[in-house]
Structure 1
Amino acid sequence: MWKSPGFLAVLVAVAAAFGSFSLLLPVVPLAVINDGGSSALAGATTGVFMAATVLTQIFTPMALRRIGYNPVMVFSAFMLGVPAIGYIIGMEPLPVLVVSALRGIGFGALTVAESALVAELVPVRFLGKASGMLGVFIGLSQMIFLPVGLAIGDRWGFDYVYILGAVIALVAAVMCLRIPAIKAAPKQQPSKYDYPEETKAPPVPAWKLVLIPALAVATISMSFGAVSSFLPAAVIQVDPVLGAVFSGLILSLTGGAAMVFRYLAGVIADRRGVPGATMIPAQALALLGVGVIALTIHQGWSVWLLVLGAALFGGGFGMVQNEALLSMFFRLPRSRVSEASAVWNISYDAGTGLGSFFLGLVAAAFAYQGAFAAGAAVIAVGILLTGADRLVGRHRLTEYNNTRARLRQIPVARRAVQTVRSVRGRVATRPVPVDDLLTRPTEKPGWKDPEQDTPGT
């Protein structure tokens, strides 16, 4: 993993970019309120930022194909932090919202490019661990810079935070220059050799393949929207004495657990050769965590149970993040990894925003325990969808230009599978490398020798 060219540069660049993002995330709304602005304007800064993020994520795969990863990463790092200097001009509605929108463009392009780039640089056999390590660098950056921004703003003023955020973003842009100059693979049209001859079935549309992993991320990120918005206040409500201490640390605990378990899920996926083994257990772990939070608030139990619930939810959340992303990479061909990254990020960001809004309405009507109970119900729906997808997936043929589908065309591959079935009674859970089955098959006209490990193996 570490020998992949440009991988370390990507990790450092993404950590710096998320450091700039984390510095400003809690500071900008607070600065608006301190300057006399309304709570609506303070919330609108984040809302406009996320809206620009999602819109940019839709068009980023096209930019990665036409321009390349290197220019897009440099541009996104620059746009994420440098426009923040504009906040120094003032906290009037127009400049604040314009600057937030510009920064959202940078964040949207960055989040799509970084996940897809890791899939381009790292061989498939290390992709789970590499994706988990990316989560570790992002998580550590957020855990460090979220409280640092507030501390600097409280002691020296918010202008210093804006300048520091711009400087760190420039560091990220410089590191992006060390990324190999590659472009996302162009889209490929299916041919009659891209799926098994015996099926005679057209390739499955991409949206059907990524729908359930996307919904798994969205349903659990909706609950994360409630956790990030209401859990600190709920901690203080349960125990005003200890809650004042834990309210500022509990989100860091959630992020830390997500970081560790995301990497763990990647290691497990690499060892098995296929993702998905921990998806449903991870969703169940997150469901348990949100359930503990809801019951603790409702019953008025010890605040330590809220800490436990946050840790359980964070662990499940981190595992689902990695499993969903790897599942999308696994199901789609290499030419579609940028779309997979875009869908994953849109699902994550949209779910967080929708969860904050709709579960906030539930909290207004049924208090905090009602919001977390509703979040648990949403996660339960996600578990049902994932279970149904797993049953259907036993008979699914992934999209064209997929290595697993190509293996079925090779006679020796089919004989190998039949042998494994006869000996073990089931298909091996770990894919057999192409090179171990046939060095250069010629039985099927039109067969193309893969140049490297590709998602879909």
Structure 2
Amino acid sequence: MWKAPGFIPTLIAVGAAFGSWALLLPVIPLAALEAGHSEALAGASTGVFMAATVITQVFTPKALRTFGYNPVMLFSAMMLGVPALGHLLGTEAWSILLFSALRGIGFGALTVSESALIAELVPVRFLGKATGMLGVFVGVSQMIGLPLGLALVNSLGYATVYFLAAGVALVAAIVCVWIPRIKAPPKTRSQDQQQDDGAQQSATWKLVLVPALAITSLSMSFGAVSSFLPAAVLELDAINGAVFGGLMLSVVGGAAMIARYLAGAIADYRGQPGATMIPAQIAGFIGVSLMALVLAQQWSVWWLLLAGLLFGGAFGMVQNEALLSMFHRLPRSKVSEASAVWNVFFDAGTGIGSFLLGAVAARAAYSGAFWVGSGIVLIGLAVTVLDRIVGEKRLHRYDNTRARLHRISSSQEPDSVANKQ
């Protein structure tokens, strides 16, 4: 894995870019509030960022085919960094929203590019661990960047954070020079596809829908966890709630990071993804349900530590399983589409979950929001189980990993029979 050309520079670029993003994620809304703007505008700064991110993700696969990974990732890093300096111009509403949207464009192109590039650079037998290691770099960047940005604001001011975010993004841009200059494969039928008798083309959405729904069901609950769990903990324990709320987010993030790599290692060992998907979804359902139960029954906050470990581990496993399942099911020429779909459903789920479950919390308290979140995870689990049952009879023989393994097995079968005779 580590010997794959461009793998290490890609990880460094991703870590630096996500570090730049994490530094500003909590800082921009705080700056808006301190400037006298409403909570709605502060929330809109993140909402505009995510909207620009999702829109950009839809068009990134075409850009990767046209320009290649290297230019797109360089552009992404620059779009994350340069607009950060734009916040130095002031805290007017137009300035906050405009530069948040521009940074969202960079973030959207980056998230699709890095996942797809890993699949292009690393041999299939190491793909699980490689995507897991990608999650480790992203997770570490977030664990450092999120609290560091707020700490620097309190000690050195907003300008320091803006310059630091731009500088870290510049590191990502520089490292992109060492990324191989390759383009995403064009949408053409390969020789293997043409030789595969009886090959059937299936619509992309049919192949990615189930893993997409799986990641969305968990990311919607994550939207509630990241947005409301600290406040819910504070209501539960007014004395230690502030410290414990931050600890809970770290526990969720750390568990997700470790579990994502573990799921990838298991997938590599088995030769295909899927082994941990259903167990992880069950654990995620239990974790979110336990959060709701603790808040409803006013139990000790220490029960939330167990709930955070269960949910975080489940979220990390489902992240990697969903991405690998998309790579596994789709043709090799659609790696960038798989990455785009995964990122769109991940980010859209997080945003929709924050909005939808926030509305539930306003009417039914925080415990009600987490009960609804657990129900959403349960729906995703039911869809995955149903797909697992009917999927035993489905083979999309169209130049994907499963199809290639099927062809190899079929071609070797006559030789095995002859040897036995």
What TM-score do you get using the length of structure 1 for normalisation? 0.88
> 3-state SS of the aligned residue for 1:401?
coil
- Give the 3 Å change call, closer, same or farther, for CA 191–71 of structure 1 in structure 2: closer
CA contact 1:196–1:408 (8 Å) conserved in 2: no
> 3-state SS of the aligned residue for 2:246?
coil
Shift of the alpha carbon at 1:244?
Answer: 2.1
- Give the 3 Å change call, closer, same or farther, for CA 190–126 of structure 1 in structure 2: closer
Structure 1 residue aligned with 2:31: 31
CA contact 2:328–2:402 (8 Å) conserved in 1: no
Shift of the alpha carbon at 1:189?
Answer: 3.2
Distance of 1:361 and 1:373 partners within structure 2: 13
Structure 1 residue aligned with 2:186: 186
> 3-state SS of the aligned residue for 2:186?
coil
Structure 1 residue aligned with 2:22: 22
1:356 aligns with 2:354: yes
Shift of the alpha carbon at 1:192?
Answer: 9.8
CA contact 1:204–1:397 (8 Å) conserved in 2: no
Letter in 1 for 2:123: P
Structure 1 residue aligned with 2:129: 129
Structure 1 range deviating more: 227-236 or 407-416: 407-416
Structure 1 residue aligned with 2:113: 113
CA contact 2:84–2:99 (8 Å) conserved in 1: yes
Shift of the alpha carbon at 1:145?
Answer: 1.1
2:364 to 363, 366, 372: 366
Runs (4 or more) in structure 1 with deviation over 2 Å come to 189-197, 401-419
User: How do 1:300-379 and structure 2 match up within 5 A?
Assistant: 300-379=298-377
- Give the 3 Å change call, closer, same or farther, for CA 88–393 of structure 1 in structure 2: same
Distance of 2:415 and 2:339 partners within structure 1: 33
Shift of the alpha carbon at 1:85?
Answer: 0.8
Structure 2 residue aligned with 1:63: 63
Letter in 1 for 2:333: S
Distance of 2:192 and 2:168 partners within structure 1: 50
Shift of the alpha carbon at 1:4?
Answer: 0.5
Distance of 1:221 and 1:135 partners within structure 2: 15
Letter in 1 for 2:35: D
Count of matched residue pairs: 418
Shift of the alpha carbon at 1:401?
Answer: 2.2
Shift of the alpha carbon at 1:311?
Answer: 1.5
- Give the 3 Å change call, closer, same or farther, for CA 151–408 of structure 1 in structure 2: closer
Structure 1 residue aligned with 2:411: 412
Structure 1 residue aligned with 2:392: 394
Matched-pair identity in %: 63
User: How do 1:146-165 and structure 2 match up within 5 A?
Assistant: 146-165=146-165
Distance of 2:126 and 2:97 partners within structure 1: 41
Letter in 1 for 2:186: P
Structure 2 residue aligned with 1:259: 257
Shift of the alpha carbon at 1:293?
Answer: 0.6
User: How do 1:194-343 and structure 2 match up within 5 A?
Assistant: 194=194, 197=197, 200=198, 202-343=200-341
- Give the 3 Å change call, closer, same or farther, for CA 62–300 of structure 1 in structure 2: same
Letter in 1 for 2:411: V
> 3-state SS of the aligned residue for 2:274?
coil
Letter in 1 for 2:227: S
Query: Could you list the per-position Cα deviations for residues 191-235 of structure 1 after superposition, in whole angstroms to 9, with x for gaps in the alignment?
Result: 8954753xx463221110100000000111000000001100111
Distance of 2:361 and 2:311 partners within structure 1: 19
- Give the 3 Å change call, closer, same or farther, for CA 407–379 of structure 1 in structure 2: closer
- Give the 3 Å change call, closer, same or farther, for CA 365–211 of structure 1 in structure 2: same
Structure 2 residue aligned with 1:50: 50
Tell me which protein shows more helix as a share of its residues: 2
- Give the 3 Å change call, closer, same or farther, for CA 123–60 of structure 1 in structure 2: same
Shift of the alpha carbon at 1:405?
Answer: 2.8
- Give the 3 Å change call, closer, same or farther, for CA 178–246 of structure 1 in structure 2: same
- Give the 3 Å change call, closer, same or farther, for CA 40–416 of structure 1 in structure 2: farther
> 3-state SS of the aligned residue for 2:3?
coil
- Give the 3 Å change call, closer, same or farther, for CA 329–409 of structure 1 in structure 2: closer
Letter in 2 for 1:328: M
Distance of 1:312 and 1:407 partners within structure 2: 34
- Give the 3 Å change call, closer, same or farther, for CA 403–240 of structure 1 in structure 2: closer
